[in-house]
Structure 1
């Protein structure tokens, strides 16, 4: 297994929280371990180690840099930005920095995990197989390591050791066959303080010697050895020592998985805000085109414990994406759960229409499935929005699409893709632009609303209904539930009293847009009440129709 280098650690952990301040010997210096500085203990000789300067101010870390260099260490990590760069350069030691508010235990966990994640099996569990072989060789019985749910994490491959059908079936499915007797034996192992000898469950099975794997009072799993009658005399002591080693390996594997999740979440966050390098992200994710899906509890502000609900929703989305794609790329931002859904073959050239439809249906079906599952689990309504397909450089745009769609969803439309509500999205964006620009906010629509407010007329409702009916008086009258002559009279009054030329198509277009977007009227909402202009970020009433 190749050692990590200083440059590797910066790339893997990311910035923030870790930054390389100076590296006199270059970033390719290997790092073998990470140590926490203890002011009350002598600094050990640790060639290749990275020292975390806990309790030492960055400006006062010069002597510690000299001591670390004397101990052969690869570098030192200080908190803050004003570290002793001069001493680091002089003594040839790498100097790395973390933010002032970074927790040392979190930095230690990430660095230790990054150094220990290169395993033969690529999952952080590779060394468990070597441990299982070592225990099997020392005890004389085939060995398996399980997690608390009886999933088999590793198993020995020492030739010639007897096995039974339970062992064979468990390895084939990486899961111990379920039975009442098996579960009872597991409970007895977890309740014991040391190794337990267990009888065979059936005539064709063999006895077992088993021990729980614990760390700090937490049960991490168990180790099982088949007892064919030829176990070594010290098998119990060997198994107990093996359980201690298994605990360390399982904790390291957990840290590696947490680090991978942290790195993945950080990458997704940077893709969503447009700050990630698209080519590097494509290499890491293995995807060249994606669609952003956004999920949020309906009326999140009124949901009790909204933060916890959002986190539970994130878990549901992660699980369903892992089931569907074998991995997930999800993040929780500002109360919204975002997921990147891979869209192979959809970008880098116009896809065939049937492929585009198939991808759209696949993503929409997943979103609907997640909404159903989340509503059952959380007991609150959930909304889901799908943005446009984009390459990884356009994820921020796809997110913007999804955010817009979320604002249009309601009880009758809990899930939608941007293409399904494109006109409403366009009007919503127009409303934002027009609200922000003075010259687009001014116009005849103010006179219409002012006249209605002052005289109790229905000019605004009449105009919007007339526009919605394609400028057909009879159609507008039906929408308003009035006689066509009444509608015709009102339109004439708009021209005479307010000086609006309804015969001018440009005048009609601008007036319709302003009443529809700024006043919030439209979509058969001749019956809606005119309201004040709405600011950016506020849903425009009427655009859903």
Structure 2
């Protein structure tokens, strides 16, 4: 896996020599590192160059003993209120670096006028911004700016950051989230790795969940970077828990570079902590936004036909040959637990990866508890490709969860308007297979819609009969009532009669009774319930009722 091109030698030298040097933190540095949607109401050179030391949540009852050079987050303060004016006055007189506020209907000209009046930096955040996230980003940006940005690394690019960390510490690096997912890993050539590192970079998942791994517990409990001894034939690691605002974001793991370089690497790893937190916060925010946007667009395609064309354009879908909706779910005895959430997100990653390999692109999303994917219909045999894709995903599913995975594909939608039908077919097949898997446990949970089209259509007919009250007082209802009341077996006799097309010998074999017994039962059935079993329409109705009832109960 460690075969990608390394960073240029000059850049590596820059990282090693100056990447971890302390520097004066200016407001402009923090704003750039935060990468939040902040509008500066008074961006003078003096304001942008103001030094920053920390972040403070505003409390009107606080004594403000140490506000100097701090960024103040004005939670609950609105323009024009006494608290707002008091806050700006106190911040300006206390040499605060900046105040972050929300407009809440105020015009930018009003906020700019207030900022200029107090000669203060006022940063305006969107009304829907999450204060908790802003606090974490602001604090991480201050600490990250103090450690200096890693040259050449785009904020939130954890693979590039892992390469930088590996270059500085002289050991292969991996970045892991609290659920054990590999968020990024280094690819510098020549750095030794072991089998555990190979496995985790292939699966993008730790072999043991951090919550149950003693090494992770040690790292999370340590105040700084620590050395984790080697186990069996593996290599020792240097590791660091990464936090922002007290929240655990994950950890960095470095292959031990050896005794001579270990102390320097541990010190460098400690110095990287604030910047690592900033990168991980931005990566998580970008990932969350990307997943939400993808899910919203795919949901629009499948549920909101008037706006489906817009969603398709945003996703860059190629619809020339049609699309089919695939649906994936995990059959678990319980849902909503941390384990179930972890498994379904790993399923999303698996579906995305397999589709990327097969089609060169992937349009997949987690909506509710179901993972959806839009499958192209290119080539002469698109259904054969669809079948192979879901079989491959099901075959790999044991690597993400101990529970069965159901994988289905709806029919081909020739245009965007038919995607809701394909999605409905995929879900119908999914629910049908889920019942079979839960009931038997040995059934393969993979199918195209046409594999079960007949029973699924019959279930629709059964639903129509039920919804319209068409079977409330017919012969089947009366037979059920008699069997329940008198412990008779008329319904079983009728079921055998219809299944064997009235063949007495076949019925006797099925019911394990004599032919004469069968004749007697059929006679009683017809007489007691006034059934004309010679009427083909009557037989059809009775067969539909029994078949749809049996399918619904399975």
Normalising by the residue count of structure 2, what TM-score does the alignment of the two structures yield? 0.57
Q: Is the 8 A contact 1:119 1:127 kept in 2?
A: yes
Matched with 2:468 is: 437
Quick one: distance in 2 between partners of 1:356 and 1:265?
A: 27
Q: Which runs of 5+ in 1 are unaligned?
A: 11-19, 25-30, 78-82, 136-141, 156-166, 178-185, 197-209, 523-539
Q: Does residue 263 of structure 1 match 2:289?
A: yes
CA deviation vs aligned residue, 1:484-523 (integer Å, no higher than 9, x gap): 4443443344443323333333322222222333xx447x
For 1:106-125, what aligned pairs fall within 5 Å after superposition? 106=133, 120=154, 123-125=157-159
Matched with 1:294 is: 328
Quick one: distance in 2 between partners of 1:113 and 1:432?
A: 56
Q: Does residue 250 of structure 1 match 2:276?
A: yes
**Aligned residue pairs, count:** 430
CA positional deviation for 1:176: 9.8
Question: For 2:493, what is the secondary structure of its paired residue?
Answer: helix
Matched with 1:528 is: none
Quick one: distance in 2 between partners of 1:52 and 1:399?
A: 47
Matched with 1:386 is: 408
For 1:139-150, what aligned pairs fall within 5 Å after superposition? 146-147=173-174
Quick one: distance in 2 between partners of 1:509 and 1:112?
A: 73
Quick one: distance in 2 between partners of 1:168 and 1:280?
A: 45
Matched with 1:467 is: 498
CA positional deviation for 1:219: 5.8
Q: Does residue 514 of structure 1 match 2:545?
A: yes
Q: Which runs of 5+ in 2 are unaligned?
A: 1-29, 42-47, 113-122, 142-148, 177-181, 200-214, 228-236, 357-361
CA positional deviation for 1:465: 1.5
Q: Is the 8 A contact 1:383 1:414 kept in 2?
A: no
Matched with 2:58 is: 38
- Structure having greater relative contact order (Cα 8 Å, sep ≥ 6): 2
Matched with 2:376 is: 344
Q: Is the 8 A contact 1:213 1:219 kept in 2?
A: yes
Deviates more, 1:448-457 or 1:287-296: 287-296
Quick one: distance in 1 between partners of 2:389 and 2:503?
A: 41
Matched with 1:54 is: 75
Q: 1:67 to 1:384 in 2, by over 3 A?
A: same
Quick one: distance in 1 between partners of 2:396 and 2:328?
A: 13
CA positional deviation for 1:263: 3.2
Quick one: distance in 1 between partners of 2:85 and 2:345?
A: 43
CA deviation vs aligned residue, 1:84-121 (integer Å, no higher than 9, x gap): 3146674378663349xxx743465589999x999549
For 1:351-362, what aligned pairs fall within 5 Å after superposition? 352=380, 354-362=381-389
For 1:495-534, what aligned pairs fall within 5 Å after superposition? 495-517=526-548, 520-521=549-550
Quick one: distance in 2 between partners of 1:132 and 1:221?
A: 10
Q: Does residue 447 of structure 1 match 2:478?
A: yes
Quick one: distance in 1 between partners of 2:517 and 2:352?
A: 61
Quick one: distance in 1 between partners of 2:68 and 2:225?
A: 34
Quick one: distance in 2 between partners of 1:154 and 1:44?
A: 43
CA positional deviation for 1:360: 0.5
Matched with 1:203 is: none
Quick one: distance in 2 between partners of 1:458 and 1:223?
A: 72
Q: Does residue 63 of structure 1 match 2:84?
A: yes
Question: For 1:438, what is the secondary structure of its paired residue?
Answer: coil
CA positional deviation for 1:481: 2.4
Deviates more, 1:243-252 or 1:84-93: 84-93
Quick one: distance in 1 between partners of 2:158 and 2:450?
A: 42
Q: Is the 8 A contact 1:125 1:253 kept in 2?
A: no
Q: Does residue 310 of structure 1 match 2:322?
A: no
For 1:166-181, what aligned pairs fall within 5 Å after superposition? 168=190, 170=192
Matched with 2:511 is: 480
Question: For 1:386, what is the secondary structure of its paired residue?
Answer: strand
CA positional deviation for 1:211: 8.1
CA positional deviation for 1:357: 1.4
Matched with 2:127 is: 97
Taking only aligned residues, the RMSD between alpha carbons, in angstroms, comes to 6.0
